[in-house]
Every structure is written in structure tokens, then in C-alpha cells.
Chains A and B, each alone.
Chain A
Amino acid sequence: MAFEIVAACVSCTACEMVCPNQAISAGELHFEIDPGLCTECAESYPDPQCASICPIEGAILDELGDPLNPPGSLIGILPQVAA
């Protein structure tokens, strides 16, 4: 049970600061989640903290590989408009 940060990440450090498990750190290209430490915040908070502050749609995926903040959910612009 762990989330994953992908290349869309802009390395803003916000998730690192709010993670209750210190599971997030700067990787070579973008921030990374240590799957051994990530609990998806199940016992700590109603919402996963990293995904609640991340400003980038599609940067954090759940364990099925689906974005926790899908396109259009944060900035309000659907991808076809942004393209």
C-alpha cells in the first residue's frame, strides 16, 4: 500500500513537509515516495496529505497507477483546453 510520484512533479517540496511518515524525499529527477514508509495516511488523516497539497495534476498516483488529482481537478482546465 503506497503512492508513487511521477515525472510531472515540479519538486516544490510541499508534500515532503506534510507527509506524517517522512516517506517523501528529493530524488534525482523529482521527489520520491519510499513504499516501505508510505501508509497512504490511512491511520493519520482522512485524506492523504501529499495528494491534498500537491499543485500538479497527475503527479501522484495511487497503487493502481491512477492519478489522485486527475486532469482538470486542480486548476479547472480540461486537458483538451490546455493543449
Chain B
Amino acid sequence: MNAILDIKGLRACLRGRSENAYVIDGLDLTVQEGEVVALVGESGSGKSMTAFSILQLLPPAIHITDGTILLGGHDVMKMDVRTLRQVRGTQASIVFQEPMTSLNPLMTVERQIAEMLLIHGKATRRTAPGKVIELLELVRMPDAKRRAKQYPHNLSGGLRQRAMIALALACEPRLLIADEPTTALDVTIQQQILKLLLDLRDRLGMAILLITHDLGVVAEMADRVAVMYAGRIVEHGPVVELLEAPRHPYTHGLLSCLPAEHADPDERLTEIPGLPPQPGSIRQGCPFAPRCPRSDAICTEVEPAMTSDGASHYKCHHPWTAP
């Protein structure tokens, strides 16, 4: 298999703070062609920043200091502006978290999608409207012909997210980055959108990097999972192994937060004590050590290296044992 995305040793720094305020700190991540990889973690763990860095869309305050991001075999950080613009949308595209604000309120859906087709030469002014309808039908937008002429405010959240997905798919990217695509939607719409994404993956054969904090979504969607904490991947592996036999105490903690299937409704849910570290506050050792029930002296001194055990990969001195 070929890797469509291969990130190695990525470090991104928050400008204006101390030298070590890294929001992404030595991140390695690979996505193979046609694969669905879920990137999970708490808010502030650097998931979205990782997504933005792939297409060089990071806010001006954050800049990448080290590492390589190979997208389709080419390093996006070495690309000039022209090449980068060419890559955006055709190699990879992004579906954002907030369908309410991620479309231009003053442009019709049709114009926003057609614009994408036109700049990449995938349609002419004459053929664009037809292609837009096709795309909207692909994402099962009801009444696509009428919806195309409408503005974002005429559409509900779910429909806007469909329009956003149609936009992202317009130039047939090999990687779709979905940054919490269902967080802002209600549960039934969430299901429809997730099903749509999987269905599109099967039909179009693209890879999906799904960013989420919802482990239910992960179980349903992903082939592989990478767990992110404090700007780095602490554990990754195939979805079944990772969810059934987590090795890293953080993954273990995340999974114990979920309510059990037949739990007593009055029972208190377990939680991971403490808060994730602020960027720059971890100087040495394992970033999870202060919150970890299994940590000891070595954890606060030495940052564990990535260890492989069968299909599981984890960064921990005292992992849970495989069953």
C-alpha cells in the first residue's frame, strides 16, 4: 500500500510565547490510500492544528519548526505558493467542524462549489452548474437543483455540511480531512453524515482522516486509530485492537469514561483526573505522567519511545498488558 499522507516528527510552535510552547510536538502519522484513520483526543490536544498543518492552513500565530509532511509523496512545507494552491482541493481537502460559519454567507452554494471546479480547471463556466448538481446529488442533497441556487442561510446544519462535503469532494481529492464533521449536528443527522462519508469512501476510493473526540464515531468509522495527547501520538493501532485492548493508560482512561452498555443510570461515570497540559508546560518525561494512575519516577524523567507490540504501538513505560 502507498501512503497518501506521511507526517514525521512534526513540531509546531505558538509564536510569541516561550520557545517551547509546542502545540504539536513530535507527531508521526501515516494514512494509507483508501484508509479511514481516526485521530482522537481531548480538546486542545492539537488534533485540529494537525489537520490545518497538512494543507498549510495554520493560523498566523502558529508556525511549524520541524518535521516533514508528505502528501502524495511531496513535502507540503517545501512547496511554493502556486504548487500549494494546486495541491489544496486536489490532493487533500478539508470539511470543517462548523457548517454554520464555514460557507460564505453572500454566495450561493452553486457559486462556492463552482469556484473550486473552475480554479482547478475541472469544469468550464458552461459545464460547472451541471457538475455542481452532480456533486450535490452525490452527497444526497435533497432537491439538489433548487438547493444549488440557494444561500447557506437557506440550508439547515445537516444540509450545509452536505454542501461542504460536496465542495471538498469537487476535485476528487485522494485524502479527505474531516475535522469533527458531526460535532455541531444533532445525533440523527450525525449518523446520516457519517454513513455518507463511508459510502463515498467506498465509491470514490479516497482516504479519510477523521478528527474526532467521539469514540463511538471511531468504532463505527475507522480502520485505524491514533490517540493524540499534548501534541503527540501516544498510541495507535487497528481499531478493534485499540478499542478492545488499549495499552496506553490514557487510551484506557478515555475508554473507561464511556458509560457501560447496561450501566446503572445513577452510577457516576469515571473520568480522567486533572486537565491536559498547557502547551509548553511539559519540560521532560511523559506528558501524561501527572494524570496517570500507573506513573512512577521514570515517567517524570524520561519520555517513553514508541514501542511496537504486534499491531499495537504505544509510548508508555508501564503499558496495560495485552489480554
A binds B: no
Interface of A toward B, CB cutoff 8 Å: none
Interface of B toward A, CB cutoff 8 Å: none
